[in-house]
Amino acid sequence: MDVKCEWNLETARAVVPWKTGLALPARFSAICDGDDVAYGAELEVEVRNGRPVCTRLTLTEHPGGPPISSRELRAVRLSWYLGLAAAACALRMDRLPDGSISVEPAIGEEIIVERADIEGPRGGRRRLSDEHLIEVAAVYRAALERKSRAPRKAIESDPRWLPSPATAARWVQEARKRKFLGPATPRRAGA
């Protein structure tokens, strides 16, 4: 995998602390390509809250490789590309005896990038509040009153949430469990 990193000399002074002893340019671009990946990737990256964030991504099909499709696109691990780009663009920060800070490229250093360095700590699922489930139940019941044959779809399309079908189903299941909705009857939605 070849990774080339670029940043503007004017913005090179704007560096952001990242990992212990390391910093990243506040904005940079990177090209990640090689025979070991399905697609070449060009990323524009901005560091926000101490983490690199992709602001633009361009994928390029390799000659003879798979075409870019929605199925293949879902398999692209953006955090992996971001980790490669950040490691290639990393800068070593050292405090000098006079108190100033020296910043230079960390070329040749092995930099281990962990998922938390890119995505932040994983929090897991939050407990659903009663207030939220009461709102979900109200949307579900309103869809039933409109004689909808798929009231869960009303939850999926509610602009306040736009959950995935699996998440909407979990919310309905939890609303039933907490008695905000009646029990489900086969082939008939329960209000």
The answer to whether residue 53 sits within a structural domain is yes
Supply the pLDDT for residue 66: 84
Asked if 140 and 150 touch (Cβ cutoff 8 Å), the reply is no
86-107, pLDDT tens digit by residue? 888 888 877 788 877 777 778 7
Percent of the chain residues topping a pLDDT of 70: 87
Supply the pLDDT for residue 174: 93
| Statement to judge: residues 51 and 7 lie in one domain | yes
Closest CA to 158 of 178, 143, 145: 143
| Statement to judge: residues 115 and 135 lie in one domain | no
Q: Label each residue of the chain as H, E or C.
A: CEEEEECCCCCCCCEEECCCCEEEECEEEEEEECCCCCEEEEEEEEEECCEEEEEEEEEEECCCCCCCCHHHHHHCCHHHHHHHHHHHHCEEEEECCCCCEEEEECCCCCCCCCHHHHHCCCCCCCCCCHHHHHHHHHHHHHHHHCCCCCHHHHHHCCCCCCCCHHHHHHHHHHHHHCCCCCCCECCECCC
Supply the pLDDT for residue 171: 93
Residue at a domain's end among 53, 84, 119: 119
The answer to whether residue 149 sits within a structural domain is yes
| Statement to judge: residues 18 and 87 lie in one domain | yes
Domain count, the chain: 2
Range of the domain at 34: 2-119
**Residue bearing the bigger pLDDT, 12 or 2:** 2
Residue 9, pLDDT above cutoff 60: no
Answering whether pTM is above 0.85, one says no
**Amino acid identity of 46?**
E
121-151, pLDDT tens digit by residue? 555 566 788 989 999 999 999 999 998 888 9
| Statement to judge: residues 52 and 140 lie in one domain | no
| Statement to judge: residues 140 and 71 lie in one domain | no
| Statement to judge: residues 52 and 6 lie in one domain | yes
